[in-house]
Amino acid sequence: MANQIKWADKIEFGVGDTIKVSLAVKEGEKSRNQIFQGIVIAIRGDGEGKNFIVRKIATGGVGVEKILPINTPTITGIEIVKKGKVRRAKLYYLRDLLGKKATKIKDVFVKKGLKAMIEVPVEELEEGATPAVKEEKVRPEAPTKVKNAPKVEAVKVKKVKKGPKKILRKERQFTR
């Protein structure tokens, strides 16, 4: 499709999607990652010259757009936050909207963890060093039913109904 784009053969996104783009920013000798999160409002170009426009609403209700070429080395990662369902190829009409309406697009369910990052070389471990292992929490197993076991009395818990409270109308009495 014309309004879909694939980045680094890992992740595919389209117009209307809310994405987080990790950009490598170099300030003097130091470099850091800066995240720009917004809605993809347009994809244009073809082949190697393809680029996409990401728009976000900054502090004070100011709209900020970035035009990012797909093959730039400054993009270190892209993560899809929400998939949007749109019926247009260009969402330039969002520029005229203010506030919450400028970021509202019909959502499609997205599984967590749709992100792609470029692998950064990690320093090799010294000899004898062990890599950190993440421990997983294990759920306790549910009790199994045993035939002819003595019954244990369970304490009954009274359920509290939640919902709108009844409004009682006060009757007025007129005196003459």
What's the confidence (pLDDT) of residue 122?
Answer: 43
- The pLDDT tens digits of the residues spanning 30-53 come to 999 999 999 999 999 888 889 999
Which one-letter amino acid corresponds to residue 135?
Answer: E
Q: Give the Cα separation of 20 and 114 in Å (integer).
A: 11
Is 94 strand, coil or helix?
A: helix
Residues 36 and 18 sit within 8 Å (Cβ to Cβ): no
CA angle 46, 52, 54 (to 5 degrees): 170
Q: Give the Cα separation of 7 and 50 in Å (integer).
A: 10
Residues 98 and 38 sit within 8 Å (Cβ to Cβ): no
List the beta bridge partners of residue 11.
7
Residues 41 and 52 sit within 8 Å (Cβ to Cβ): no
Is a pLDDT exceeding 90 seen at residue 10?
A: no
Average pLDDT over every residue of 141-168: 62
| Measured CA distances, 118 to 1, 23, 36, 43 (Å) | 25, 11, 16, 22
What's the confidence (pLDDT) of residue 139?
Answer: 56
What's the confidence (pLDDT) of residue 3?
Answer: 75
Q: How confident is the model at residue 121 (pLDDT cuts 50, 70, 90)?
A: very low
| Measured CA distances, 23 to 3, 29, 35, 97 (Å) | 22, 16, 6, 27
Asked which of 3-7, 41-45, 70-74, 138-142 is least confident by mean pLDDT, the reply is 138-142
List the beta bridge partners of residue 75.
23
What domains can be seen in the chain, in order of their start residue? 4-99 (2.30.30.790)
More confident: 104 or 68: 68
More confident: 30 or 120: 30
Q: What is the pTM of this model?
A: 0.58
Structure tokens at 24: 């490598």
